[in-house]
Amino acid sequence: MFNRITSFVTRRPKRVIALWAVLTIGLAMVAATQGYKVTTDDTAQFLPKGSESAQATRYGQEAFGQQKGTRTVTALVKRADGTRLSAADGAAVRELSAGFGGWRPDTSKLELEGQLRGDLEERAGRIVDAQLGPVGPDGRFQLIALEWKANATDLVAQEAFRQLRDRTADQIRADGLKVGFTGGVASVADDTKANEGTRALSQALLFGSIIVLSLLFFRGPLAAFLPLIAIYLVAAGASGLVVAAALLFDFDLDVGTPALITVVLVGIGVDYFLFLLFRLRERLRAGEDRRTAAAHAAGSVSPVIASAALAIVAAFTTMALAEFGQFRVLGPAVAISVLVMLVAGVTLMPAIAAVTGRALFWPSRSWAHEPADGPAARLGRRIARRPGRAALVVTLALVALSTLALGTKMSYDMAGDGGPSTQATRTADEISATMSKGASDPLHLYVQSSGDRLTAAQLQPLRGRLARTDGVSAVAQPVLSADGHGARVDIALEHGPVTAAAMDVVRGPVRDAARAAAAEGARTMVGGTSAIYADVSESVDRDMKLIFPVAAALIGLILILTLRSAVAPLYLLAAVALEFAATLGASVLVVQELGGNTGVAFTLPLVLFLFVVALGTDYNILMTARLREEMLAGKPVREAVADAVRHVAPAVGAAGLVLASSFGTLMLEANQQSKQMGFAMAFGILLASLIVSSILVPAVTALSGRRAWWPGRAAREQPLRAAQPTLEEDDRPLALAA
């Protein structure tokens, strides 16, 4: 099948390229113009419907008119001269709070190019509720809680917020007052503005690292720029396809999903193009013309690309089993995108190779001659000579790093410390300096009576019990629903809303106290940010226990079908499991022990599993497919190992270095989650490509011999000739030979 496909696309390459250009540009326009309609930053929407915080959110919407997709923005109002607020100042604050409810942005002044006016009104959002908050203990400020309905990561909403901030500052300046905002869109908008330079640098380094490394590997400008352009077009088209599916089937995506799709596809796309280019170079060296070389190279690489892509698809598709909705939607979305890149890998990439041929490597001439004794050749001989020692050294190192993973702790604080100082962070610091860290984002306890109407007096014992609960700093007066059968009690915690301490308080003391002190015939539900993340953490724990083994089983099945073996897949799965555990252990060492953080980002283990295991399987499939090919050619086992490493290690190493440098740029970001992801992904990819696939897998295969392919034909093939003298003694250390 693959031979027919590659033969077709290399005979008509220009038509194939033109078709891909039309499709990807069209789909990219869908993502650019419609993506905001299907993305949300509201984590509560992804909770299991049976979780307590999800029930609390729904009840708040039904009984208290709260709207879906709102985030709390806290306004701090104080005197410009820093003195205590007077009675007149208090009246001005109340007037300001009342005026927020009717505010609408002036869309004519939102200077964002290419946006329809109706789209701007929808995306800018609005304030659906404004409530006066407490006065600071020293009387120097008062808080106002604003419920803002908008996607905080949308640039239109951020511009609208800046408009509100400027208008509010002008409005109260005459009264001698100042205002600061924090939380929700206020914090996101300030962070986006403060990190514009860093993000621009990160993007420049991302493109620059891929281009520079490609130039070093192939010495040709076309080989550096053309694959990158093609891959980004395919990634944009895949994002558009996912957005179209979300519109068609009416589901929401997390705001980070489009960016993650791009990162995934750039990573695997670079890998697949590099695999093809290394094989194309081999065929051109043999004297074939560009179309014949492209057809043969694609015919050899396409089955490997397909198997590798299907392993990634299997890993991400298992997320459809997740209880946490963000994972349940993310998995299939990424799987669809990877399938798009797979189709591009067996059609578009060979077509580009057929059109360009030797021009990809121009002006260099060195590509035409394979190095007789390069680093990869020496590494292959060294592994083939002493496979047991190579396998033992690598395994011990991986096991040592893996033991550190036992100390993994989860952190749900996505921002962390060390970010830039902004108006939002300074406002938050001012609040927490005199009030508790949870005051600006309180819990919402709902009481629902199935019998008589509730009264404020009936709720006082509950309020008193909550006020005496460890970890609680303040409890507001109850607010009754319109029908009198419901009540809302806001609870400020001592700890920040997304800290482990706050979530522990919610899971135990707060929920226990609420149930114990509730009136007869009433049920209690705790919602709010801390409650949502407490339920998220439990859901994620459950999902990881389910997804990991199912994904491993599916990847194992794909390896069995690809390699036609029951033996090799066993040690390949063991290798990627060690690779994952070692990467997580290294992350724990750097983030928790050396970095002083309370834990690693809660998404890190699952993201690591999906990326490192899936991409590591990519590299392993490429290496083992070549090992099998060399043995089927009749070579003795150790000669086959040496030759496979000589041919494949450069491609795997190049792909790993390019991908690791891409992920490494995330370490420039201000927030801890991005820094952690950048380090972990870069380390894991380097470990997978340079160590596991290039050393451990061929070493174990050399030890297993032809038994590695049992019960397939390669296990029964006999060598056609004796081992060649290429496996002479090489006494240099393994690291130097590599």
**pLDDT tens figures, 291-316:** 888 888 888 888 878 887 888 888 78
Residue 365 has pLDDT above 90, yes or no: no
89-95 LR contacts (CB < 8 Å, sep 24+): 89/175, 89/176, 89/177, 90/142, 92/172, 92/175, 92/177, 93/132, 93/142, 93/144, 93/177, 94/132
Q: Does domain 442-527 have CATH number 3.40.50.620?
A: no
Cα separation, 195 vs 418, whole angstroms: 13
What pTM value is reported for the model?
A: 0.76
Helix (H, G, I), strand (E, B) or coil at 482: coil
Q: How confident is the model at residue 737 (pLDDT cuts 50, 70, 90)?
A: very low
Per-residue DSSP letter, 665: G
Q: Which residue has the tokens 């409530």?
A: 131
Residue 511 has pLDDT above 90, yes or no: yes
Q: Which of 144-158, 379-393, 415-429, 559-573 has the lowest mean pLDDT?
A: 415-429
List, in order, residues 6 or more apart from 171 with CB less than 8 Å away.
Answer: 96, 99
The overall average pLDDT reported for the chain is 82
Determine the average pLDDT of the residues in 502-525: 89
> 371: left (phi > 0), else alpha (psi -120 to 50), else beta?
beta
Q: Which residue has the tokens 């060649």?
A: 724
Task: Identify the pLDDT of residue 22.
Answer: 92
Q: Which CATH number fits domain 57-194: 3.30.300, 3.40.47, 3.30.70, 3.30.230?
A: 3.30.70
Q: Which two tokens stand for residue 576?
A: 């990627």
What is the fold of 374-405+569-722? Multidrug efflux transporter AcrB transmembrane fold (1.20.1640)
Q: How confident is the model at residue 187 (pLDDT cuts 50, 70, 90)?
A: confident
Q: Matching CATH topology for 57-194 and 442-527?
A: yes
Share of the chain above pLDDT 70, in %: 91
Residue 730 has pLDDT above 80, yes or no: no
Query: Which of 369-383, 462-476, 584-598 is most confident?
Result: 462-476
Q: Which two tokens stand for residue 433?
A: 């300096």
Would you list the domain boundaries of the chain? 57-194, 374-405+569-722, 442-527
Task: Identify the pLDDT of residue 19.
Answer: 93
Cα–Cα–Cα angle for 661, 667, 672, rounded to 5 degrees: 150
Determine the average pLDDT of the residues in 544-567: 84
Q: How confident is the model at residue 38 (pLDDT cuts 50, 70, 90)?
A: confident
